[in-house]
Amino acid sequence: DTEVTQTPKHLVMGMTNKKSLKCEQHMGHRAMYWYKQKAKKPPELMFVYSYEKLSINESVPSRFSPECPNSSLLNLHLHALQPEDSALYLCASSQVPSLDGQGFYGYTFGSGTRLTVV
Amino acid sequence: AQSVTQLDSHVSVSEGTPVLLRCNYSSSYSPSLFWYVQHPNKGLQLLLKYTSAATLVKGINGFEAEFKKSETSFHLTKPSAHMSDAAEYFCVVSDFTGGGNKLTFGTGTQLKVEL
């Protein structure tokens, strides 16, 4: 299995709703990531998990709450979002490289969840 | 911090002609560089990667890129464009500092392929 699977593919939620995005991989990757991509823009890093521990939080608002329950799963819990949070949310995974970058061969991305906040 | 600059936001070519998408990088040490492609409403697909093994890197779908340290460049090329190549292309650099590994994306180049 060489894929990263994201569900749902599309999500519409109100500003008072609570929802979750799910990401799953079975490639044995121990690093997983959430990126946010606005239209016509490059992806922007939100969170990095290494060995199921949060290692990077790019100053993301607390209305986004990541969770890594095991080495294959990554969730993003959403609460009280704003319309400007509407975007494509991309999950990715990779090997965990050594500090000098050896062994890092790039990410495998999922196809994303298109989120619309109304 | 490392960064990449994609020199063209839009490139238009005719089918069957060569493709050149330009990327310059800034890095204080030997970088790991990647090209990713994104088709409309899709996720990102890895085209190729440079990780210091060889300066000329061959990727999928006939694409290749050459790492030139003297020019701090990592341009993407393809000898003959196909209609299916029309997409957004991102030049990307790895950063292994800060307790994790993260990719920093360039602003993207939209490739248009015309008949």
Asked whether the beta carbons of residue B101 and residue A110 sit closer than 8 angstroms, the reply is no
pLDDT at A102: 65
The DSSP call for residue A53 is E
In chain B, whose CA is at the least distance from the CA of A87?
A: B41
Asked whether the beta carbons of residue A56 and residue B103 sit closer than 8 angstroms, the reply is no
Put simply, the chain B residues between 54 and 83 with a CB less than 8 A from any chain A CB are none
pLDDT at A37: 95
| Contacting residues of B for A99, CB less than 8 Å apart | 96
Mean per-residue pLDDT for B103-113?
95
Q: Select from B41, B100, B106 the Cβ nearest to the Cβ of A55.
A: B100
pLDDT at B102: 78
Assess whether pLDDT exceeds 60 at residue B15.
yes
The DSSP call for residue A21 is E
pLDDT tier for residue B32 given thresholds of 50, 70 and 90: confident
CA distances from B47 to A30, A69, A90 (A): 22, 31, 17
Is B102's Cβ below 8 Å from some Cβ in A?
yes
pLDDT tier for residue A80 given thresholds of 50, 70 and 90: very high
